[in-house]
């Protein structure tokens, strides 16, 4: 069995940090220039979450490969934290954007391709009506506003540890039986916890109690929890959720932003789960900032009645650039030519190879770890068995060990997601890149022993 302690992890981490600094002179030079005008040297503060000695600065990204300004190449298993799930600059999307760029970027009007996007979305996800936003956060915000408007209820319900972008309504957690605001929210003044209920994932009893008074407008959830490691639904869980929501008049909104990795139609359809609303962002337009939300014909009629009765003016939903011509072109290209059955067959098969390779290496060293898989997404978890809730999953985290693993792989040309041990396979990912990740993971375990 592999034995290691905190001091060996710390020593290896210091060595790997020195190695990155030594091998990235141009990155260090440019980092100084970035810090003159960007907060902490990055244009978006999440970019420091990699916890590297210096942020990696890219020269280009193509397919499943990144190249930094020092000319070093990386097999990319992060893929923009899912935004580039189908590879960087898929050729069909790049061509569509190039063509549309010469014929209008944004006009606040539908284009001749808008009808085709609706057809493709309805065919793929089995919901007849749709809207386009710029981000999944925007889409989730619109869904919750619509749900409150058409039900006349104020409360929403989420699972503890949920991920729905930066939507304030969902940045709440369960603490000793009470709903509280998630710590770390900058500048927040509104009490969103007072308008939310939170239960643990997979806890049907708690969910039934939360819905019993018929006061909840909407349950917003991922079909698999992905933000605290991956937490899978227990058998029959979603059937019970669907029945409870229907019984209590609560609308069910399924956020497939991360779980589009499960297959061409997302994870909900794999489960046989029929949502009232469905949200998909990040990768749905091949990496172009775009998201969509779909809904049933019954909801469309109820939404139309709300629009007929409200005063003209701002609705609190939408932005000027939503559903712009570039986004529409990218959606058509991605849905029609990128998110194909053949592309998913490659992703799922190669991801299974990766997951099995990780499991084999864990087993060979009798490590009390496991690997969770959801479609083309795999997660290395430092516990012997899968978690049932997000809280259990977070408790299993080992931040220093994760940080070392990520930097160790990066220094050897392999990039994984910084927030946890997620590894995503794209249609462009190769057998050789998967083998490289597995070989370096072997080396990592050997050095720790």
How confident is the model over 285-339, as pLDDT tens digits?
999 999 999 999 999 999 999 999 988 878 888 899 999 999 999 999 999 999 9
Distance CA 118, CA 328 (A): 10
Of 125 and 190, more confident: 125
Q: Give 168-181 pLDDT, tens digit per residue.
A: 999 999 999 999 99
Q: Which residue reads 């069910």 in tokens?
A: 252
Distance CA 388, CA 255 (A): 19
pLDDT value of position 3: 53
Does the pLDDT value for residue 389 go beyond 50? yes
3-state secondary structure of 166: strand
Weakest mean pLDDT among 135-149, 182-196, 210-224, 366-380: 182-196
Please state, for a pLDDT cut of 90, what percent of the chain lies above it.
88
A 10 A CB-CB count for 302 gives: 16
Q: Is the pTM of the predicted complex or chain greater than 0.85? A: yes
**Tokens read off for 378:** 């795999």
Distance CA 155, CA 165 (A): 19
* Residue 172 near residue 198 (C-beta atoms within 8 A): yes
Q: pLDDT band at residue 190, thresholds of 50, 70 and 90?
A: confident
Q: For residue 165, give every residue at least 6 positions away whose Cβ sits within 8 Å of its Cβ, in sequence order, or none.
A: 135, 136, 137, 140, 257, 281
Beta bridge partners of 220: 253
* Residue 185 near residue 155 (C-beta atoms within 8 A): no
Q: Which residue reads 């899978």 in tokens?
A: 232
Q: Which residue reads 């712009």 in tokens?
A: 324
Q: pLDDT band at residue 4, thresholds of 50, 70 and 90?
A: low
Q: Which residue reads 């302690």 in tokens?
A: 5
Mean pLDDT of 102-108: 96
Largest CA distance in the chain: 68
pLDDT value of position 261: 96
pLDDT value of position 179: 94
pLDDT value of position 8: 87
Q: Give 338-387 pLDDT, tens digit per residue.
A: 999 999 999 999 999 999 999 999 999 999 999 999 999 999 999 999 99
Distance CA 342, CA 355 (A): 20
Q: Give 246-287 pLDDT, tens digit per residue.
A: 999 999 999 999 999 999 999 999 999 999 999 999 999 999
Helices (H), 24-90: 25-34
Q: Give 405-445 pLDDT, tens digit per residue.
A: 999 999 999 999 987 899 999 999 999 999 999 999 999 99
Does the pLDDT value for residue 2 go beyond 70? no
Apex CA 268: angle with CA 266 and CA 273, to 5°?
Answer: 155
Mean pLDDT of 39-55: 91
3-state secondary structure of 261: helix
Distance CA 382, CA 402 (A): 9
Does the pLDDT value for residue 149 go beyond 50? yes
* Residue 436 near residue 354 (C-beta atoms within 8 A): no
- Single out the residue of 418, 439, 415 nearest to residue 360, CA to CA: 439
Backbone angles phi, psi at 311, to 5 degrees: -65, 155
pLDDT value of position 323: 96
Q: Which residue reads 């969509």 in tokens?
A: 292
Does the pLDDT value for residue 60 go beyond 80? yes
Does the pLDDT value for residue 6 go beyond 80? no
Q: What is the DSSP letter of 234?
A: P
A 10 A CB-CB count for 345 gives: 13
* Residue 369 near residue 381 (C-beta atoms within 8 A): yes
The pLDDT mean for the chain works out to 95
Exposure letters 202-226 (e unless 16+ CB within 10 A, then b): bbbebbbebbeeebbbbbbbbbbbb
Apex CA 47: angle with CA 410 and CA 227, to 5°?
Answer: 85
- Single out the residue of 138, 148, 163 nearest to residue 195, CA to CA: 148
Distance CA 169, CA 158 (A): 9
Element (H, E) at 197: strand 196-199
Distance CA 371, CA 359 (A): 6
pLDDT value of position 1: 45
């Amino acid at each position: 069995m592999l034995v290691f302690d905190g001091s060996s992890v710390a020593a290896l981490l210091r060595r790997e940090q020195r190695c990155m600094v030594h091998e990235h002179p141009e990155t260090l030079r440019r980092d100084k220039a970035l810090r003159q005008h960007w907060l902490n040297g990055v244009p978006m503060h999440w970019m420091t979450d990699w916890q590297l000695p210096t942020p990696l600065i890219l020269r280009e990204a193509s397919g499943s490969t990144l190249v930094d300004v020092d000319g070093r190449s990386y097999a990319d298993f992060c893929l923009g934290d899912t935004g580039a799930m189908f590879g960087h600059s898929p050729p069909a999307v790049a061509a569509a954007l190039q063509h549309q760029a010469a014929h209008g970027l944004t006009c606040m009007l539908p284009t001749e391709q808008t009808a085709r996007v609706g057809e493709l979305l309805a065919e793929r996800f089995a919901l007849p009506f749709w809207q386009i936003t710029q981000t999944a956060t925007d889409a989730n915000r619109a869904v919750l506003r619509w749900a409150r408007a058409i039900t006349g209820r104020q409360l929403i319900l989420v699972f503890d540890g949920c991920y729905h972008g930066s939507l304030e309504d969902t940045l709440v957690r369960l603490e000793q039986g009470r709903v509280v605001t998630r710590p770390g929210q900058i500048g927040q003044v509104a009490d969103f916890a007072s308008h939310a209920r939170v239960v643990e994932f997979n806890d049907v009893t708690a969910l039934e109690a939360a819905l019993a008074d018929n006061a909840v407008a909407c349950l917003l959830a991922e079909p698999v929890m992905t933000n605290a490691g991956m937490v899978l639904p227990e058998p029959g869980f979603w059937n019970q959720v669907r029945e409870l929501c229907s019984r209590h008049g609560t609308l069910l909104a399924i956020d497939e932003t991360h779980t589009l990795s499960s297959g061409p139609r997302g994870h909900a359809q794999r489960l046989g789960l029929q949502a009232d609303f469905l949200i998909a962002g990040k990768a749905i337009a091949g990496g172009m900032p775009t998201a969509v939300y779909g809904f049933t014909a019954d909801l469309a009629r109820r939404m139309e009645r709300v629009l007929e009765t409200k005063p003209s003016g701002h609705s609190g939903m939408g932005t000027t650039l939503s559903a712009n011509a570039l986004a529409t072109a990218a959606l058509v290209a991605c849905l029609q030519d990128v998110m194909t059955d053949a592309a998913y067959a490659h992703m799922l098969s190669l991801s299974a190879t990766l997951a099995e390779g990780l499991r084999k290496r864990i087993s060979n060293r009798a490590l009390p770890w496991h690997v969770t898989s959801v479609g083309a997404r795999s997660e290395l978890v430092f516990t012997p068995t899968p978690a049932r809730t997000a809280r259990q999953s977070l408790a299993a985290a080992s931040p220093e060990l994760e940080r070392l693993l990520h930097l160790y792989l990066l220094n050897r040309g392999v990039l994984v997601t910084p927030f946890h041990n997620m590894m995503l396979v794209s249609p462009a990912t190769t057998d050789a890149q998967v083998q490289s990740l597995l070989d370096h993971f072997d080396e990592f375990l050997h050095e720790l022993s």
